[in-house]
Amino acid sequence: MHAATQLIELGAIVLALGLLGAVAVRFSISPIPLYLVAGLAFGSGGILPLGASEEFVSLGAEVGVILLLFTLGLEYTAGELVGTLRTSAPAGLADLVLNAAPGVAVALILDWGPVAAVALGGITYVTSSGITAKVMGDLGWLGNRETPAVLSILVFEDLAMAAYLPILTALLAGASLVAGATTLGIAAATITVILYVALRHGRLVERFVTSPTDEVLLLKVLGLTLLVAGLAQQLQVSAAVGAFLVGIALSGPLAHTARELLAPLRDLFAAVFFVFFGLHTDPGQLPPVLGVAALLAVAGIATKLTSGWVAARRAGVAARGRLRAGAALVPRGEFNIVIAGLAVSDGVNPRLGPLAAAYVLMLAIAGPLIARGVEPFIRWRGIRPSRTRPGAARDEHAVPRPADGVADDRVDGQEDVEDVEDVEAVDRPPAPGRH
Amino acid sequence: MDVERTSLPGIGLRHVFTTGRGRQIGVVSHRTGRRDLVIYDKDDPDTCVVSVALAAEEANAVAELLGTGRVVERLAELNRQVEGLVTEQILLTAASPYAGRRLGDTRARTRAGASIVAVVRDGEVIASPRPDFEFRAEDVVVVVGTDEGTAAVATILHGG
């Protein structure tokens, strides 16, 4: 009868997630906080404790993290990552210092020890790129001038995660300084090799993965990702980072197809992961940490607003856009829970899990609301746009009206971008009789 | 006209330009093939006030209306303006002796007295091609001239 119980429980969980997802869509909020709540409800000390399907859920959670990171890696090309590092490192570093500080400070003040401080710093630092990108798309902000700055921050954060997760894994394993340094060396070497392969020999990877049918492609990509993730885990680099790097190594049309194929799987297993985290958090533990979580949430909003302000100002954007950039960066979600999950499974501090859960719940819900409210706030406060023309390419060039018979203006530099056809500015045809 | 190109990591590309009258418009090209047509606030160059998401086909339709249509329209206008002037669109088949050869080789102006003013290739208009322009099979050649002139060019291109 054990199998039957498992099926019943699993079915109940997934169905409940579906219903919650419908609620999330109805109110156009991110489903992540709802999944966490579902996990809290089903978990130990919740209203409906489950027991039988623990094993499957924990493996599913593992796969969920890997797929989350893999699809995140697919979003970027190696070229974009390197380019972002070159151009927006100052803003990215400011974002890191500003946002990790409250977490580190709170952990130290509460006397949780340095390892918990590193974990909590990571939890308060990372923006949820998934929620942010969706909110910006929903609000029609993609064309805004501050958007590239915001996206660069997200890329920088994801790269920072690729370096941070191995460090955290080493610290949690209680590795000595020497062992930790070795781990980091291995991690750095792995990341470098994968980036090098992706940048220089992307063709080889693609040739290996290219498949006659979608079915074959799905199996190949999923197998490769899980395999690399497992090997990375073996090398103490953390499975998530391995998966992220596989995603980066794939680019172009292939990445696009892979993303479409894996999206449903990722959605399922990522939901299982959030539930799993909730299952392991005792709702009874939440009230004692609510105060601290609220404090951190307020600090987290303030620091992200500052980060966005700084990044947008560097891009030459006026006050309105700077506020929008900050608001877009507020949501926290996937990565924060991934970090908390790692820390909790290694038993850093029993309070850390509930604190992270409460923090993410608050900011995953507050973030999109703040983003929606920022434009009305600007209008209410009457923040005037600057009449000047910010932006790099605007000031130096006056824009002449095309006179008759001006030669075609070509937009060049298109070659390095996939899927974007050449753009040709077509001039007026000249008067006849003029070759 | 300056088109400012910005990459949007994880999303795609953005092209923005300012019209002669000082309005800013742009296109966000998603990797998925989606295109957003964005129009900026008159007073605030940072903010787009309208953002219309277009599927790949819809974007092509808009491009066609803005681009190809313009050329054909202008030619039609020319026809009306100038008595006795006609526009012909001639399809260059693979059988044509000029497929793969240069425009100058046709000596169309000298021989027929009509001008080749544009070539439409894969839905894109190549305006005022130079003598060193190389024809390909399936090009549509747009010719302007008198009735006889355009007919003569058609004969030349078809291998007469």
Cβ <8 Å between B10 and A434? no
pTM tops 0.75, yes or no: no
Q: Give CA–CA dist A368/A131, Å, rounded.
A: 8
Delineate the domains of chain A, giving CATH numbers in brackets: 60-381 (1.20.1530.20)
Please give the helix or strand (H or E) that residue B142 lies within, else none: strand B140-145
Q: Give CA–CA dist A335/A154, Å, rounded.
A: 12
pLDDT band at B37 (very low <50, low <70, confident <90, very high): very high
Distance from CA of B154 to the nearest CA of A (A): 17
Structure tokens belonging to residue A206: 């693609």
Best CATH choice for the domain B85-158 from the list 3.40.190.10, 3.30.565.10, 3.30.70.1450, 3.90.550.10 = 3.30.70.1450
Residues B12 and A420 sit within 8 Å (Cβ to Cβ): yes
Q: Is the dihedral of CA A60, A65, A69, A72 positive or negative?
A: positive
Closest CA to A281 of A269, A293, A264: A293
Structure tokens belonging to residue A167: 């460090």
- Rounded (10°) angle between helices A352-381 and A253-279: 120
CA dihedral A112, A114, A120, A124 (to 10 degrees): 130
Q: Give CA–CA dist A399/B78, Å, rounded.
A: 29
Say what the pLDDT of residue A409 is.
Answer: 37
Cβ <8 Å between B9 and A420? no
Say what the pLDDT of residue A47 is.
Answer: 61
Distance between start and end Cα atoms, chain A: 86
Q: Give CA–CA dist A123/A119, Å, rounded.
A: 6
Show which of residues 57-116 on chain B sit within 8 Å of chain A, judged by CB atoms: 67, 70-71, 74-75, 78, 85, 103, 109, 115-116
- Which residues of chain B neighbour A419 with C-beta distances below 8 Å? 12, 29, 31, 33
Contacts of B48 (CB under 8 A, 6+ apart): A140, A141, A143, A144, B26, B38, B39, B40, B41
In this complex, the residue of A385, A401, A433 whose CB is nearest that of residue B43 is A385
Closest CA to B5 of A416, A156, A389: A416
Cβ <8 Å between A432 and B74? no
Domain boundaries of chain B, sorted by first residue: 3-72, 85-158
Structure tokens belonging to residue A106: 């709170």
Residue given tokens 């088949």 in the structure block: B93
Residue given tokens 């027991």 in the structure block: A51
Cβ <8 Å between B3 and A133? no
Number of alpha helices (DSSP H) and beta strands (DSSP E) in chain B:
5, 9
- Which residues of chain B neighbour A134 with C-beta distances below 8 Å? none
Amino acid (1-letter code) at residue B13: L
Judged by phi (left if over 0) then psi (alpha if -120 to 50, else beta), residue A28 lies in left
Q: Which residues of A187-219 are buried (b: 16+ CB within 10 A; e: fewer)?
A: beebbeebbebbbeebeebbeebebeeeeebbe
Q: Give CA–CA dist A390/A146, Å, rounded.
A: 11
Which residues are paired to B38 by β-bridges?
B26, B51
Q: Does B155 touch chain A (CB under 8 A)?
A: no
Whether the pLDDT of residue B79 is over 70: the answer is: no
| Other Cβ atoms closer than 10 A to B15 | 18
Structure tokens belonging to residue A101: 């500080």
- Which residues of chain A neighbour B57 with C-beta distances below 8 Å? none
Return per-residue pLDDT of chain A as tens, 435 residues: 567 877 888 888 889 889 988 988 888 778 888 888 888 887 766 566 666 567 788 888 899 999 998 988 888 877 778 888 888 899 999 999 999 999 999 999 999 988 999 999 999 999 998 889 889 988 889 999 999 999 999 999 988 888 888 888 888 877 666 777 777 787 778 778 877 877 787 778 778 888 888 899 999 999 999 998 998 888 777 788 889 888 888 877 788 888 889 989 998 999 989 988 888 888 888 899 999 999 999 999 999 999 999 999 999 999 999 999 999 999 998 889 999 988 888 877 888 999 999 999 999 989 999 999 998 998 888 776 654 444 433 333 333 333 333 333 333 333 333 333 333 333 333 334 434
